[in-house]
A and B are shown apart, each in its own frame.
Chain A
């Protein structure tokens, strides 16, 4: 046992070092010790904050381990007499009961304050409805003044939630099927999306940037592939983004893309809505996901190419290099870069965006469930009454996929 002491000490030192190093910019994007907004900071800071508790926990554990190690050295059997058979020391024991109680009181009081602070909703300057379903998030922005920017018609998007930086945004979270949980570690803790009820959660990001997260309540087969992000933009860029989302639909002029529009209407529009899309007779094309999908919803693709990820923010619409650039962009450059979307770095007038991750989208259109498992047995839909759970394999030809991609690239 003794021989292992140095190693154990090294481990303890390592653990302490760990606490010191945490917060380093190279850490994973979902590092819980790198708050980037007021709510996450509330969780992290002060007595009753995450950092303090972790240090307190570390210190208590270190003391106990140190005492145990000392005892192991000191009271090892070296042939001493059988010790006196003491049965205890009530005063000492009462003291050792009260001491932790006092420490816990110093934690408990600020904790309660924090719980109520985090539950406040009266200072929100913007509202977004967040709806989870297997296995993606939908965001729906009601008509409102969002942090000074007028939203004049409802915006529906998915995967990435775009918010103005510095503004307290009130999320109203719910679910269409099973329980999910919305979590952006750098902005706030988790909040479950429970079907049949609305759960509040505040989001505020100090600086423009992309803050990733994941669904954290186990929600079935592709739980691991249900991700999300909050994208905070500076105020002007957010206004630009809103204006872009509200722009009227224009049919493509390019021949291939026009064929793609037809493909979309025949293949995709059963589930996916594109606002303003009309049939040849001028009637609007209305998606009907209720009759095709268990969750009754599919992502709205009106402005697909303004996003950087798809299929529950699991796969990138931009290439790895472009993603690296965007994710690591300084906050003052971030907003502009994000608004370029898949067109970032593309020379003016380029027909084909440099940053577009064509491989992933092609693969998805070829066989979506192959990339992201969406039902155990696609051939057996009896348990769901013929409804799909997620996107099925549509059996598209390569030509159809070409047309669809040309069309979708214009949804920007």
Chain B
């Protein structure tokens, strides 16, 4: 971790003891321009490199895109609520489901996981920031600008209409002539760079910057799962990048990579897309697995059952995830040998996934369960993900899959996995970590409404989809006809309406979350330092955490370090040994503060990440409208790169004010 000067206005830290660290401020800026120094106001956010601020911004922006994608989903459900409905035209409907999936996957679930990873990964491993704070900021701005860029297509002639899988040759200029697909291709390239640099950054952070004593097998499970995800990202993103380049070259520069008339093989796209796309599924789900592996032990008052098994099953899922991509192509005509191989490989992946479910269940077994909202969401994940998981096994069986693929049965299946598994898990994280991030606990009563509405909404919506799928309703259909509706209990009419009502139930549940956020923000009451009696390092600091995370980097002795500092086995008078709380969180924090590092240099804010990120959508608009614009964008990127390069990461000694208190030794505490 670079030791970089961090200007700060006033060193006011919650609970700062007598030995609170002095803060040093650079007296002059270096590089091309003077560095930004604002410690408050919008500039302190826009130019920040603080992983916590970036985490919050990731969260806010992805929550916004969640609402956008949710509105798209509701429109889709409205259209499908009745046969031969006319809420949306065929073209708009196709754009709607394409953008719903794109938004939810790339602009909500992934960045929301990135929000948690950014915020909590350094805290959980006892670091003061990530390895490359400016790259971290770059990743956020690329994600934001990429997301905005894709969505501007709505007002610039229509969004992409080829489905999120964008199969060729339907995505070629002949069959999809508007600019929608171009926006999609270029937008995903931009957000792809964000994921890639973020992945490298977080891997380095985890591998290199753990607190003393924190072995890999002492890392909290969330950190572990995020690490696996970053490896998946690092190696999956380049593959989709290649696919997107090929498609972009075909659409904009006349190449023929997917043009059958020129002899191309349209399955090339499918292979490239799914080699990325299947690891992507685990990229989506594993952070949530990590979150609930944190939440369940805390509220069961037991360690995670079979920690090592969960770690290795997570890594196993990540590894096997590379060998199953063609199960998305069982109907493509790969030939029986390939189909058989991928069918069996896909079944294999059920085993490590099953291990996780078993371990979570056994974590709860014999516990002392406290049903907070976070816990409810986490248990909800076990239930809903199991349902999504077992229906997944029915798709691993290739012959059976050829009946279910591309029907609503599949849609129901993966929504149980993604909404019931990933999104519910993210909500568990929100409720669990909210007091850490903002110092206030979300309202539990509203949280209950939020949970139950989402839980039943998800069960109803996607349960109903299983039924309409089994009745033969394919997906991606703007209309379903009256004559194929059937009668009796399973008629499509009824179950489509049920699905629509369920979707609105989920929406109301989400609305409760937003209300909860507003209500919580307005209340005065602060959360206790350790509201959940938690187990991991992120709770050995103030809430919200200090700018530098820890006054002194904690030394780690065990898995669940914080818990073991609080609890000890005490022998009672009657002779039996009981686990007793021997220290409060406040006492532990006070101990840490008492031996605070004297001087802490934090990464300095920088203009360059946002400027560099801003250049990319300009390049992209240029590719679509006028290449001159691209050169302008490229120039911005290049200049920002040079600015970045010339901005030293370590300031000269002379650039610092003498530390407060007259200590002039200038010894620098490390951040890493």
Contacts and interface: CB of A to CB of B under 8 A. Distances in A.
Interface of A: 1, 4, 11, 15, 18, 21-22, 24, 26-33, 40, 42-43, 48-50, 53-54, 56-58, 60-61, 64-65, 67-68, 71-72, 75-77, 80-90, 92-93, 96-97, 100-101, 104, 107-108, 111-112, 114-116, 118-119, 134, 177-179, 181, 183, 185, 188-192, 194-197, 199-200, 212-225, 294, 314, 316, 320, 323, 373, 376, 383-384
10 contacts: A30-B472, A31-B472, A53-B400, A58-B390, A65-B383, A81-B579, A82-B578, A183-B474, A189-B399, A314-B481
A21 B490 contact: yes
A251 B183 CA distance: 54
Contact of B170 (A1, A112, A115, A218): A218
A119 B303 contact: no
B399 A114 contact: yes
B369 A77 contact: yes
Contacts of A107: 347, 393, 397
A96 B354 contact: yes
Contacts of B404: 32
B371 A76 contact: yes
B357 interface: yes
Given A31-B472, A84-B579, A192 B331 contact: yes
A2 to B, nearest CB: 10
Q: Could you say which of B302, B357, B369 has the most chain A C-beta atoms within 10 Å of its C-beta? A: B369
A32 B403 contact: yes
Interface residues of B, number: 115
B382 A68 contact: yes
Given A87-B305, A115-B339, A383-B173, A50 B382 contact: no
Contacts of B302: 83-86
Interface in B475-489: 476-481, 483-489
A1 B376 contact: yes
B425 to A, nearest CB: 15
B492 A383 contact: no
A77 B371 CA distance: 8
A96 B358 contact: yes
A355 to B, nearest CB: 15
B648 interface: no
Interface in B308-337: 308-309, 331-333, 335-336
B561 to A, nearest CB: 13
B266 A33 contact: no
Contacts of A30: 471-473, 484
B230 interface: no
A191 B370 contact: no
Contacts of B403: 32, 40, 43, 50, 185, 189-190
B178 interface: yes
Nearest to B482: A320
B301 interface: yes
Interface in B343-377: 343-344, 347-348, 350-351, 354-355, 357-359, 361-362, 364-371, 376
Contact of B177 (A83, A191, A384): A384
B38 interface: no
A177 B169 contact: yes
B303 to A, nearest CB: 5
Given A50-B399, A111-B343, A218-B167, A75 B364 contact: yes
B169 A28 contact: no
Q: Could you say which of B343, B379, B470, B490 has the most chain A C-beta atoms within 10 Å of its C-beta? A: B470
B368 A112 contact: no
Interface stretch (B86-94, B232-240, B598-606, B617-625): B86-94
A178 B406 contact: no
A40 B406 CA distance: 17
B486 A31 contact: yes
B491 interface: yes
Contacts of B459: 11
Contacts of A373: 89-91
Interface in B398-421: 398-407, 409
A18 B467 contact: yes
Contacts of A54: 394
Contacts of A134: 175
Interface in B437-458: 452
Contacts of B263: 196
A190 B406 contact: yes
Contacts of B44: none
A88 B363 CA distance: 8
B340 A112 contact: yes
Nearest to A54: B394
A32 B486 contact: no
B163 interface: yes
A76 B379 CA distance: 13
B3 interface: no
B71 interface: no
Contacts of B204: none
The A contact surface, by secondary structure, is: mixed
Given A29-B484, A75-B364, A50 B400 contact: yes
Interface in B11-58: none
Contact of B266 (A114, A194, A213, A323): A194
Q: Could you say which of B306, B308, B336, B472 has the most chain A C-beta atoms within 10 Å of its C-beta? A: B472
A71 B452 CA distance: 19
- Would you list the 3 A-B pairs with minimal beta carbon distance, nearest first? A30-B472, A189-B402, A28-B486
A31 B408 CA distance: 12
B368 A75 contact: yes
B265 interface: yes
A83 B366 contact: yes
Nearest to A15: B463
B90 A221 contact: yes
A218 B348 CA distance: 29
B287 interface: no
Contacts of B361: 64, 67-68, 71
Contacts of A199: 333
A101 B158 CA distance: 48
A408 B158 CA distance: 39
A50 B397 CA distance: 8
A27 B488 contact: yes
A212 B484 contact: yes
Given A65-B383, A194-B267, A26 B467 contact: no
Nearest to B460: A11
B359 A93 contact: yes
B497 interface: no
Q: Could you say which of A48, A192, A373 has the most chain B C-beta atoms within 10 Å of its C-beta? A: A192
B397 A22 contact: no
A100 B376 contact: no
Interface in B209-260: 260
B391 A57 contact: yes
A220 B405 CA distance: 18
Contact of B490 (A24, A50, A188): A24
A383 B397 contact: no
A303 to B, nearest CB: 23
B476 A218 contact: yes
Given A214-B474, A224-B479, A373-B90, A101 B351 contact: yes
A99 to B, nearest CB: 9
B407 A68 contact: no
A85 B578 CA distance: 11
A220 B176 contact: yes
Contacts of A115: 336, 339-340, 343, 398-399
A29 B487 CA distance: 10
B638 to A, nearest CB: 34
A88 B358 CA distance: 11
Contact of B406 (A196, A216, A224): A216
Interface in B157-181: 158, 161-163, 165, 167, 169-170, 173-178
Given A61-B386, A116-B336, A221 B94 contact: yes
